[in-house]
Structure 1
Amino acid sequence: MNETRILSEELWREPHLRIALVTETYSPEINGVAMTLERMVGGLIARGHRVQLIRPRQGRTDDARHDDGFDEVLAHGWKVPRYEGLLFGLPARSLLSRSWSRQRPDLVHVATEGPLGWSAVSAAARLRIPVTSDFHTNFDHYSGHYGLGWLRQPVGAYLRRFHNRTARTFVPTKAMAHALQERGYRRLFVVARGVDTALFRPAARSIELRREWGVGDDDPVVLSVGRLAAEKNLWLTVRAFRAIAERRPTARMVFVGDGPLRAALAAQAPDAIFAGVRTGEELAAHYASADVFLFPSLTETFGNVTLEALASGLAVVAYDCAAAAELVRDGDNGLLADAGDETGFVMQAVRAAGDAQLRARLAGSARALACEQDWEAVNDRFAAELVTVWCEATGATPTTSPSAITSRDG
């Protein structure tokens, strides 16, 4: 919310909306969805919109924040079973209806699909407030990783119904839009993700950190960043590193993040470094001080860590899906394997770790690509489409003041 921006004269002419944004996760929680939403909220405020954020209370000492253009409403939440550290919001239709009847938002944006999100869609529909949604997470794909594969079809049906109740569903890639369209989703709109290239940069490389890891200048460091959870396919990361270590015994594996699989991964990779959760400059240094980034997940809708690794100048090895499918050109700015081809993934990881010249060439192209993924352009596109949805719902034009619509409608 501290994003600054010089607004163009044309942008100032756009209507400034009151936007209620509903989410089950937000900063200071650490995950890709929370980070993305914080960036987008900051972008909306920088463009003159007011944001009311509705989220679950994250702890007993958690207090609602109120800043210029930003207000929070804290709802009740519950821990996600078998997924420590994450919450889902409890149903809150009455709370939302009362709040929005007292101070009506121009538009409701629902970022997550839990009970709180469903309540928000229902309350907005009853009050005839236009509502949009985000598709951030393949929850139906997660079920198989937690012994609940039988839930995949009903969860998929719920998600489709949820999003089809909204005027737009925002997705991060064209491939995801195509896949969801084939599954019966309607009114999809692509808004990509950006990366902070001032934070994630090759210059953050730390000789001191590499010494802590016990590696020399020429020893390859293999990095994984993200939640240590079953849906991230981290067993393949361990398998790939073992193949690398057979050829390069001085290589080192570093995991950044935490989660329910930490103990099991440590048992399988006893020589790996588990750095825990890192943020800000510490996270940037961990990225830049590595050499190869492995990302074998098949459940991502995007995968922000892929873009962060590219910005940090790493040789990225990933499956040809999600962000990697849109951003990585195999052999040019990273290395790809066909989705699900574990042998191919391991071969690409071994190739990257064993060839310093290849890594250097990939790193330069990776950084150049990341510098094109500007958060400002992403936030412009997102904010403009919210205005379009409001205009469609109210019959307004992009230069109409929301207060004028409110007065006209009584």
Structure 2
Amino acid sequence: MKVLLYFEGEKLLAKSGIGRALAHQQRALTSVGIPFTLDKNDEDYDILHINTYGINSMHMVNKAKRQGKKVIYHAHSTEEDFRNSFIGSNQLSPLYKKYLINLYSRADQLITPTPYSKELLEGYGIQVPIEAISNGIDLDKYQPDHEKEKAFREYFQLLPDQKVIISVGLFFERKGILDFVEIARQLPEYTFIWFGHTPMMTIPKQIRDLVNEDHPENVLFPGYIKGDIIEGAYSAADLFFFPSYEETEGIVVLEALASHQNVLVRDIPVYKGWLSNGHNAYMEKTNQGFIEKIKGIVDGTLPQLSEAGYETAKQKSIDEIGYELKEVYTKVMNTE
């Protein structure tokens, strides 16, 4: 059994959660000894495992079907998480949904990151079998490291007693960026850092203005940063705060949990079954609720949940995901 992992526009999407999902799939398949290729011209494969949605992706699916190959579509995207993102996304979302249904329905099997996103897809009326498998997390990569933490604090010239709240994501309204900045405005005693980047021409003016100039001095937008600085930030910060309104999983949440970091998220359905408020993460619904939780976590008046969070990340390690993918591949290969 050999798998073609296909990813259209890899450079464009490398900074997104989907981009990291591809890297995790490679690690997962390697961990369980499943041969794979990334070369779309390599026709010596049995299963096309496809991650993207462009015209070339549709062409690859059609070609694979003509050749009698099995097709697994990794359903990272839904209409719900397309909304409130790029310029015009809300107007286009009904068409996008139809396009996704058409694409996903051509597969022999769908994989989607969470039971929540599985429920959404089933609600679309898609008849293809669907398995919920986490995108997974590289536990070793995010273990706290003194040198990485030092690199982070030196990069931002942080004082020893400076309290820092971080988030990671694209510049989308859906990600809660407006709330992040408003909350920071009301908590000037803390430093808020939003890691990530989105081409400015693709996002609404309100978000462009927010990132470029319309934010208080205690908010930093350093752009997309990888390596020691961001990995050090995950563990050295006082809190990972992710106020997103809609996710299919949220790889950055897994990265924070794997970093032994306290996590505060919006209470939305995607976390049902793996995050529990007050057990392995904190959850809130309103800005005032977020403010109260941030103060309690950072000032130490609320219990630290980082170790329980790490135990959750361990359940979604790349090795575990490898075995789950192998099971799905085997099932698909044995299906007429």
> Aligning the two structures, in what range does the TM-score lie when normalised by the shorter sequence?
0.7 to 0.9
Render the CA deviation track for 1:137-170: whole Å, top value 9, x for unaligned.
Answer: 2355424442342222121122122112211110
More contact order relative to length (CA 8 Å, sep ≥ 6): 2
Deviation at 1:189, TM superposition (A): 0.5
Contact 2:24 2:137 in 1 (8 A): no
> Closer, same or farther in 2 for the Cα pair 1:229/1:144, shift >3 Å?
closer
Q: Provide TM-score, normalisation by structure 1.
A: 0.71
Match of 1:337 in 2: 284
Match of 1:382 in 2: 325
Contact 1:25 1:34 in 2 (8 A): no
Q: Does 1:327 align with 2:274?
A: yes
Q: Secondary structure at the match of 1:327?
A: coil
Q: Secondary structure at the match of 2:77?
A: coil
Render the CA deviation track for 1:87-144: whole Å, top value 9, x for unaligned.
Answer: xxxxxxxxxxxx57xx442121221122122112211222222211011123554244
Deviation at 1:199, TM superposition (A): 1.9
Match of 1:20 in 2: 4
Q: Aligned equivalents of 2:155 and 2:104: distance in 1?
A: 47
Match of 1:356 in 2: 300
Structure of higher CA gyration radius: 1
Q: 2:197 aligns with which of 255, 258, 268?
A: 258
Contact 1:199 1:281 in 2 (8 A): no
Match of 1:392 in 2: 335
Match of 2:203 in 1: none
> Closer, same or farther in 2 for the Cα pair 1:112/1:208, shift >3 Å?
closer
> Closer, same or farther in 2 for the Cα pair 1:148/1:282, shift >3 Å?
closer
Q: Does 1:151 align with 2:95?
A: no
Q: What is the alpha-carbon root mean square deviation over aligned residues?
A: 2.6
Structure 2 stretches lacking a partner, 5+ long:
201-206
Match of 1:44 in 2: 29
Q: Aligned equivalents of 1:105 and 1:209: distance in 2?
A: 43
Match of 1:136 in 2: 76
Match of 1:62 in 2: none
Q: Secondary structure at the match of 1:336?
A: strand
Q: Does 1:199 align with 2:141?
A: yes
In the TM superposition, 1:18-97 aligns within 5 A as: 18-26=2-10, 29-53=14-38, 72-73=39-40
Residue-pair matches, total: 324
Match of 2:204 in 1: none
Structure 1 stretches lacking a partner, 5+ long:
1-16, 54-71, 74-98, 394-410
Contact 2:152 2:230 in 1 (8 A): no
> Closer, same or farther in 2 for the Cα pair 1:369/1:149, shift >3 Å?
closer
**Identical columns (%):** 22
Give the AA of the match of 1:265. Answer: V
Contact 2:239 2:264 in 1 (8 A): yes
Q: Aligned equivalents of 1:266 and 1:369: distance in 2?
A: 36
Stretches of 4+ moved more than 6 A in 1? none
> Closer, same or farther in 2 for the Cα pair 1:367/1:47, shift >3 Å?
closer
Q: Provide TM-score, normalisation by structure 2.
A: 0.86
